[in-house]
């Protein structure tokens, strides 16, 4: 079993083009069910994101454990969360949006979310956010600050439900995320004690991580396609 008492975050920028031999190599490591899903994507960039997500997990898993791809099988829980044999002692999670695929690793439950910052209809908050979160959002007058805070809340909430492991089976408005003046992150209504960290990967994106562990790396390990081979 691996022992590492800090949460590790990795990222890869999705290329516009991937050489066929590299694509085939990554695809050869993927379980049949995921291969079928990848083959059904209409847009090649969607295939790239899913395939690179799998390759990124396997790359870091090998670094942490020393085990090779053929010794790691990525399964999905009944709630759709990816996992591998618990005896390895590695928990992970993955997310992608736009140009980026990101992943997180820890000794215990972890969750990650990334979202590209785009203009939105703030009415959507009424469906997914708690009353406290809606109030905090409404109190922001500056439109840019309001937009950024919306994505702060959204990615933090997504990272939490992914760490818990039940995804959207936990209603997003059943708990509240809030920050103090020092930008420290708190949660009200959590099932377990969790900790959060946000990273500045790209000014056009918000990236949030949730973990049962307190210690996080301060920087993101950025990889290239060639690192993952």
Strand pairing class (176-179; 100-106): unpaired
Q: Residue holding tokens 């979310």? A: 113
Give me the number of domains the chain comprises: 1
pLDDT in tens, 115-167: 999 999 999 999 999 999 999 999 999 999 999 999 999 999 999 999 998 77
Residue pair 209/9 in contact by the 8 Å Cβ criterion: yes
Residue pair 34/75 in contact by the 8 Å Cβ criterion: no
Distance between CA atoms of residues 176 and 173, nearest Å: 7
Decide if 1 is inside a domain.
no
Decide if 101 is inside a domain.
yes
Decide if 2 is inside a domain.
no
Residue pair 168/161 in contact by the 8 Å Cβ criterion: yes
Question: What CATH number did the domain enclosing 180 receive?
Answer: 3.90.470.20
pLDDT at residue 168 is higher than 70: no
pLDDT in tens, 32-74: 989 999 999 999 999 999 999 999 999 999 999 888 776 788 8
Decide if 214 is inside a domain.
yes
Question: Domain range spanning residue 39?
Answer: 8-228
Q: Residue holding tokens 């291969």? A: 35
pLDDT in tens, 185-224: 999 999 889 999 999 999 999 999 999 999 999 999 999 9
């Amino acid at each position: 079993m691996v022992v590492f008492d800090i949460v590790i975050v990795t990222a890869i920028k999705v290329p516009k083009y991937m050489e066929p031999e590299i694509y085939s190599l990554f695809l050869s490591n993927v379980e049949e069910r995921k291969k079928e899903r990848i083959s059904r994507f209409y847009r090649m960039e969607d295939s790239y994101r899913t395939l690179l997500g799998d390759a990124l997990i396997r790359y870091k898993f090998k670094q942490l454990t020393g085990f090779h791809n053929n010794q790691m099988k990525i399964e999905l829980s009944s709630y759709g969360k990816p996992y591998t044999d618990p005896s390895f002692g590695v928990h992970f999670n993955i997310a992608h949006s736009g140009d980026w695929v990101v992943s997180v690793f820890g000794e215990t439950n972890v969750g990650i979310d990334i979202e590209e910052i785009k203009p939105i209809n703030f009415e959507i908050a009424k469906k997914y956010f708690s009353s406290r979160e809606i109030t905090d959002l409404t109190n922001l007058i500056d439109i840019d600050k309001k937009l950024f805070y919306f994505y702060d809340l959204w990615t933090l909430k997504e990272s939490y439900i992914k760490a818990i492991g039940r995804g959207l089976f936990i209603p997003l408005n059943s708990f509240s995320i809030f920050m103090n003046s020092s930008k420290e992150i708190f949660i009200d209504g959590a099932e377990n004690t969790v900790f959060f960290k946000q990273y500045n990967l790209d000014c056009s994106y918000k990236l949030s991580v949730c973990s049962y562990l307190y210690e996080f790396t301060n920087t993101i390990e950025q990889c290239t396609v060639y690192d993952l081979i």
